[in-house]
Amino acid sequence: MIAGLRIARKVFQNPAMAALVSGEFLPGPATESDADWLDHIARTSSTTFHPTSTCVMGPPERAVVDTALRVHGIAGLRVIDASIMPAVVSGNPNAATIMIAEKGADMILGEARSAPAVKAAA
């Protein structure tokens, strides 16, 4: 990260670019040492990706949930969110996550409708 930021600074200090730049405001020209750069990186960096794909769907030997979103080996537990995606989608995962939630709800309702009725104890 430090090396990349130093290169970016040099690019903008190049005469061809310098004419278009009014000045450096982050991290600022006083940032020179590795410690200063690391401090800047720690304070300002973050990911641009949405966390997904941590409970991948598939067969038990390779995944956390089955195709009905049930957690392998744990009865009654499902994962119905972006974590079941096998890979990060190329765009914002919001629509895909909503689709997963709606499909998961449909699966649960479908199973509930087809299950035998349980009579309440008198």
| Residues annotated as part of the active site | 50
Contacts of 112 (CB under 8 A, 6+ apart): none
Q: Where are the alpha helices (DSSP H) in 1-122?
A: 2-13, 15-18, 34-44, 94-114
The amino acid occupying position 75 is A
The rounded distance, in Å, linking the Cα atoms of 65 and 106 is 17
- Cis preceding linkage at 27, omega within 30: yes
DSSP 90: S
